Amino acid sequence: MKISSISKTGFGVMLSMLAFSVFAFAQDKPKLSDPEVAFVAVTANQIDIDFAGVAKQKSKDANVIEFANTMERDHKAVIAQAVALAKKLGVTPQNNAVSKGMLANAEKTKKSLRSKSGTAFNKAYIDNEVAYHKAVIAAVETVLIPETDNSELKQLLQNVVPALKAHLMHAEMLQKNYK
């Protein structure tokens, strides 16, 4: 009982850290160049693909696996379009402090997710997807889009927002099953 509580608290802290890192990034509004914005966008998508990979390894729940497959497919499609656009514009996405912070926190979240199994894992994964998508939507709308100078990159980011919101609604729908 005690261990379970600690474990739940630990994951909650981990979730908060990841969400905080993205929210903090959204609130600090750091000045990012377009190559840095592109890198942050690709990183944000890759992190969710990695979470989906963990879910596909750990979960036996058909709804969770289906959701993970959708996250993997959609975020890969977004990365492919971002990479194609960067190539067209002759821009090399540039690593930066924001994307490094996001990746570091995502590693901690993945470690925590991997330590769980069964219903606890399903709940933790879906809770994380809800928190992560909320944070990413805020970051894209309040930082990445306003910070972007190139109109095509800005348009790509704007096009991604409805998909992120649909993912969030889908995750919230599933979340009701794991309370």
Give the N- to C-terminal CA distance of the chain in Å, as an integer: 17
Looking at 15-23, 130-138, 140-148, 163-171, which segment touches other proteins (CB under 8 A)? 163-171
Single out the residue of 17, 79, 103, 163 in contact with other proteins (rule: CB under 8 A): 163
78 near other proteins, rule: CB under 8 A: yes
Distance in angstroms (rounded) separating the CA atoms of residues 67 and 76: 14
Backbone angles phi, psi at 115, to 5 degrees: -80, -5
Written as one string, the DSSP assignment of 86-109 is HHHHT------HHHHHHHHHHHHH
**Nearer CB in complex with other proteins: 27/159:** 159
- If you ran DSSP here, which 8-state letter would residue 160 be given? H
Minimum Å gap between C-beta 132 and other proteins is 17
Residues 43-72 that bind other proteins (CB under 8 A): 70
Minimum Å gap between C-beta 155 and other proteins is 11
Q: What is the Cα 172 distance to its own chain's centre?
A: 15
Distance in angstroms (rounded) separating the CA atoms of residues 141 and 148: 11
Sorted by sequence, the CB contacts under 8 Å of residue 29 that are 6+ apart come out as 142, 143, 147
Single out the residue of 62, 90, 162, 176 in contact with other proteins (rule: CB under 8 A): 162
Minimum Å gap between C-beta 173 and other proteins is 7
139 near other proteins, rule: CB under 8 A: no
74 near other proteins, rule: CB under 8 A: yes
In the complex, which residues of this chain contact other proteins (CB under 8 A)? 70, 73-74, 77-78, 81, 159-160, 162-163, 165-167, 169-170, 173
